[in-house]
Structure 1
Amino acid sequence: MIRAALLALTCLTTGTAVAAQTPGALSSLDRRDLLLGWEAVGRLDGPHGSCTGTLIAADIVLTAAHCVDGVADPASLRFGVGLSGGRALAERVISGIFLDDDYGGLENGRLPLHRVPADIALVTLARPVSPAEARPFRVASPGPVPDVVTVVSYGRGRNDAPSRQSACEVTGRYRSGVLRFDCDVTFGSSGAPVFMRQNGRLRIAALVSSGGDGAAYGPPLADRVGPLLARVRTEAARPVPGPGARTVRPGDRPGTGASGARFIRADRS
């Protein structure tokens, strides 16, 4: 189940036209004309909470591993494509869960900073999403992540429509590859895509993993999503498992549940 963990992070809310026009502030994509082009970002819901996810193929969603780690039945999860105004353009049941092989899980409800690079998951949809409903985003090619990025997420108190922060800054780059952002994120923002411009097009450079002390942390994706995607496609080519089967990495641990949207505090110790 999608479980909650304590996060010491203040959620900054916006809702007026003036605030939305401030550089770097949140703007709500709560109308279909504002949502145009961002439909592939959706909300991943489980029995006890939600995260943010992004279509990177018609039947594959990118999110944070801790959002789906320990889920006993993938079919208990739903992905709302382009959900805005509380209504999704399409909704799909999750059929499989794939975690990065190096993901080590939480420690006492926190994710140690050295584990953030592998806090990556792909989930497969029971039915693909048509291009008329949403066009998937591509993950960025290897290369430097710029100092200014864009984040689109569903957060607590604003999760009936995505919020876009068009300009937040990369404020730290760790040797492990972990990035620190000053983006306005909160519960439910885990798994949110961090966009950059590459060759004139929006690409997913990183995702939101954890947060605390007014900062968000996340892994760059260029070198990790490819191998995980190959594993998803290999598994998809095998015979379809029977009812109740789940597609996860070997050695997965059963999870324990608690209520709330998923977002965790980074442990930098």
Structure 2
Amino acid sequence: MSLALTAALTLPIINGNYAVLGQFPTVVAVRNTQACTGTLIAPDLVLTAARCVHAPSLGLASQEAVTAQTTVMLDTVDATGGGGRTIAASDTVPIAMYRVPGDPDVGLVFLAEPVTDIEPAKLNLDPAAARTGVALTMVGFGATATGTSGRLLYTAPTASVSCAAYAVNNALFLCVDQRSGAGICDGDGGGPALAEVDGELRLVGLASYGDAACAEFGAHMR
């Protein structure tokens, strides 16, 4: 198995900075049999990675079981129980093409009640703004270099690189060289990769997968 397929992410931000409450209000913790991250993109809709709502990946028997066990935590920077509010899922949908890491990796969580006091994240709709080389700010509730997880962290803007060295599809993913020690890891899966587009941060990618040690690369679904 190639290095690129060794670790699907339930990943955390390693060597990142602690976010403060309100800094990334649209970034949420997604919880079921795994810990993931997501982004509020409409009042009743969270965007995350497919594997975070994919029944076989979660060890669940049906999509109904995934929905029944999925919740979203908002208004917190500590998903281990540091306040905020929790909303149950009313439906969960992984992209049909997802089977294994490296496949198209997009999932949706429909919320049982709308969030009316947070403006949804802005999505990048311009492919040219997400070319290889764009500087990404990665945000997630995943593990840290010390192994702890559940706190919301973010990286300084980091230039994306070609995915070719990792046998990853450049057309589908933006990659980040994590040999410097910063990037995505367990618990960050589905978390946003943000880039400045037209003077504001927009979501240009989703944390998808990387190497098992979180030390070589991270791949973000465009």
* TM-score, scaled to structure 1: 0.63
Matched, 1:214 2:216: yes
Q: 2: CA distance between counterparts of 1:12 and 1:190? A: 10
Matched positions, count: 189
* 1:80/1:88 contact within 8 Å kept: no
**How far apart, CA to CA, are the structure 1 residues paired with 2:158 and 2:46?**
24
CA separation of 1:130/1:159 partners in 2, compared to 1, >3 Å: closer, same or farther? farther
Residue by residue over 1:62-94, the C-alpha shift from the partner in whole angstroms, topping out at 9 and shown as x without a partner, is 000011101532021110013224324321001
Instruction: Read off the aligned partner of 1:180 and give its amino acid letter.
Output: C
Q: Are residues 1:39 and 2:25 paired?
A: yes
Q: Deviations over 1:148-182 (max 9, x none)?
A: 11011011344332101021221114443322113
Give TM-score scaled by structure 2 length.
Answer: 0.76
List alignment gaps of at least 5 residues for structure 1.
Answer: 15-25, 221-269
Look up the match of 1:61: 46
Report the counterpart of residue 204 of structure 1 in structure 2. Answer: 203
Q: Cα distance 1:170–1:97, how it changes in 2: closer, same or farther (>3 A)? A: same
Partner Cα separation in structure 2 for residue 163 and residue 13 of structure 1 = 8
Q: How far, CA to CA, are the matches of 1:91 and 1:130 in structure 2?
A: 14
RMSD across aligned positions (CA): 2.5
Q: 1:128: which partner in 2?
A: 114
2:170 is aligned with 1:152:
no
| Residues 137 and 158, structure 2, Cα contact 8 Å, conserved in 1 | yes
- The AA in structure 2 aligned to 1:87 is G
Is 1:51 paired with 2:46? no
**Percent of paired sites with the same residue:** 24
**CA shift in 2, pair 1:96/1:172, >3 Å:** same
In 2, the alpha carbon distance for the partners of 1:197 and 1:11 equals 22
Alignment of 1:155-170 (within 5 A): 155-156=142-143, 157-170=147-160
Kindly provide the CA deviation profile for residues 22-60 of structure 1, in whole angstroms up to 9, marking residues without a partner as x.
Answer: xxxx1111xxxx2324111011111x3210111001110
* Partner in structure 1 of residue 73 of structure 2: 80
CA 1:210 to 1:97, structure 2 compared with 1: closer, same or farther past 3 Å? Answer: same
